[in-house]
């Protein structure tokens, strides 16, 4: 009988300890979410970002509850997406710069092509023929001169297929806000530093890109003379990639 009572006491104690741990975890999570919401409110109001690394970590771990709360507060999802892209670009930039050009890949969406594009679909994506009717031709030439792997993406599963085949150590991904957001998350899960460059105008055909932004991201690398700039912000006020010198 005594043994049974002792077992019940131990079980009760363990249950109480477990309950305390759960309550403590919930309180700590609520506190972190509250702090992140305060930092987000400050960022939305002023355009400045305080404690970017803390914000990135907080958004990665608590994105779902934060989004729910922001929706309840009637904050547009797009604002959160833009800020998240900006923060992730900033956070990843020093790591990205350390990767040599020939170990990086660039993924462009096919919607950037001209409607008269003569390129053909191949297992390695859409192969630009360099007709010059859109900006892809110049981007491809420069990327290949530097040693990049360069792809025009025909479909959603293509990127992972090329990632598995060529195993780039860093990537530049161009797309609309949702593609960039999802791409950053996907690369984060695969521990590959990814810089997102957003289209200026999204859509299904003839979308527009500020090509200078792509070239700036493409040329960013840690050289002895530029090493001091490695930790500086790499995005503009819209969350898009921007060279640190601007």
> Contact residues for ligand SF4 (CB under 6 A)?
113-114, 117-119, 128-134, 136-137
Cβ at position 139, least distance to ligand SF4 in Å:
9
Cβ at position 172, least distance to ligand SF4 in Å:
17
Closest to ligand SF4 by CB, 132 or 155: 132
Cβ at position 129, least distance to ligand SF4 in Å:
4
Closest to ligand SF4 by CB, 108 or 192: 108
Cβ at position 168, least distance to ligand SF4 in Å:
21
Cβ at position 93, least distance to ligand SF4 in Å:
28
* Whether 40 contacts 65, CB under 8 Å: no
Closest to ligand SF4 by CB, 132 or 203: 132
Output the DSSP codes for the chain. Answer: -HHHHHHHHHHHHHHHHHHHHHHHHHHHHHHHHHHHHHHHHHHHHHS--SSHHHHHHHHHHHHHHHHHHHHHTT--HHHHHHHHHHHHHHHHHHHHHTS-GGGEEEEEEGGGS-TT---EEETTEEE----SSSTHHHHHHHHHHHT-EEEEE-STTHHHHHHHHH--SEEEEEE-HHHHHHHHHHHHHTT--EEEEE-SB-SSSS-B--HHHHHHHHH----TTTGGGTTS--B-TTS-B--TT-
CA distance 112 to 105: 17
Closest to ligand SF4 by CB, 86 or 113: 113
Closest to ligand SF4 by CB, 131 or 186: 131
Closest to ligand SF4 by CB, 37 or 159: 159
Cβ at position 206, least distance to ligand SF4 in Å:
10
Residue 156 structure tokens: 């959603």
Closest to ligand SF4 by CB, 72 or 115: 115
CA distance 74 to 166: 43
Cβ at position 245, least distance to ligand SF4 in Å:
28
């Amino acid at each position: 009988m005594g043994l049974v009572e002792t077992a019940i006491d131990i079980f009760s104690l363990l249950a109480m300890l477990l309950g305390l741990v759960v309550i403590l975890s919930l309180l700590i999570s609520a506190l972190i979410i509250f702090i992140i919401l305060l930092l987000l409110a400050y960022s939305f109001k002023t355009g400045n970002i305080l404690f970017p690394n803390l914000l990135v970590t907080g958004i990665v771990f608590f994105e779902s509850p934060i989004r729910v709360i922001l929706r309840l507060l009637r904050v547009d999802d797009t604002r959160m997406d833009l800020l998240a892209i900006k923060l992730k670009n900033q956070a990843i930039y020093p790591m990205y710069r350390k990767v040599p050009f020939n170990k990086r890949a660039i993924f462009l969406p096919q919607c950037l092509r001209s409607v008269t594009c003569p390129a053909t679909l191949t297992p390695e994506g859409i192969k630009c023929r360099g007709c010059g009717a859109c900006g892809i031709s110049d981007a491809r030439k420069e990327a290949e001169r530097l040693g990049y792997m360069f792809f025009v993406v025909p479909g959603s599963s293509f990127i992972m297929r090329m990632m598995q085949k060529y195993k780039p150590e860093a990537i530049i991904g161009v797309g609309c806000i949702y593609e960039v957001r999802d791409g950053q998350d996907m690369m984060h899960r695969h521990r590959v530093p990814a810089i997102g460059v957003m289209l200026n105008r999204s859509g299904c055909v003839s979308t527009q890109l500020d090509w200078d932004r792509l070239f700036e991201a493409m040329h960013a690398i840690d050289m002895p003379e530029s090493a001091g700039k490695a930790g500086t912000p790499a995005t503009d006020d819209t969350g898009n990639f921007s060279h640190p010198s601007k």
